């Protein structure tokens, strides 16, 4: 196998992803500083800019679009590169904390009333967070429908 045929290293994927994201946002007129971090859930590129609200968009929709485009570009250039998560000034982390706090309130409601609660539609990443939050809970179980919908509603109920 020639050196150019070898699979990309993690460092190559990080550098390529950072360069692609910087170029993409630069073409859109944003001056950004990008940091990366790795966790068990994968690679995250954290973007810092004075115009973060414009990049996040309404309910994070523009942020989702940027992440989608970056991953398409990255996988076109490096097919074996890992999926990259894009965040703007820790927006996703803050949203996840708020979502999980709200879901814990709903779980407390289930504990006290005994009635199941259906949560709003969520994407697969959010559902994974919710199921993980109740994985070891002795009183509450979480369940998702088995259909193929992209956004599904989780139901919290007593075990």
Q: Which pLDDT score, from 0 to 100, does residue 47 have?
A: 95
Give the pLDDT confidence score for residue 101 in this predicted structure.
Answer: 95
DSSP state of 31: -
Q: Please give the Cα distance from 88 to 134 (Å, whole number).
A: 28
Tokens of 2: 């020639």
Residues in the chain: 159
The pLDDT value given to residue 7? 53
pTM beyond 0.85, yes or no: no
Among 136, 152, 134, residue whose Cα is nearest residue 144 = 152
Burial class, 146, CB count within 10 angstroms (exposed 0-12 / middle 13-18 / buried 19+): exposed
Rounded Cα distance, 104 and 83, in Å? 29
- Residuewise pLDDT in 10s, the chain (159 residues): 444 445 556 678 889 999 999 999 999 999 999 999 887 778 899 999 999 899 998 888 899 999 999 999 999 999 989 999 999 999 998 999 999 999 999 999 999 999 999 999 888 888 989 999 999 989 999 998 887 766 788 999 998
């Amino acid at each position: 196998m020639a050196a150019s045929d070898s699979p990309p290293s993690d460092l190559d994927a990080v550098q390529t992803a950072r360069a692609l994201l910087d170029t993409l946002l630069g073409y859109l007129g944003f001056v950004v500083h990008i940091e990366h971090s790795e966790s068990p859930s994968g690679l995250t590129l954290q973007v810092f800019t004075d115009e973060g609200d414009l990049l996040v968009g309404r309910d994070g929709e523009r942020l989702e679009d940027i992440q989608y485009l970056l991953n398409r570009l990255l996988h076109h250039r490096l097919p074996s590169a890992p999926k990259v998560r894009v965040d703007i000034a820790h927006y996703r982390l803050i949203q996840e904390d708020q979502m999980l706090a709200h879901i814990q309130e709903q779980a407390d409601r289930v504990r006290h009333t005994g009635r199941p609660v259906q949560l709003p539609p969520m994407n697969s990443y959010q559902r994974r967070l919710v199921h993980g939050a109740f994985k070891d809970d002795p009183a509450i179980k979480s369940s998702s429908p088995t259909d193929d919908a992209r956004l599904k509603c989780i139901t919290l109920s007593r075990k």
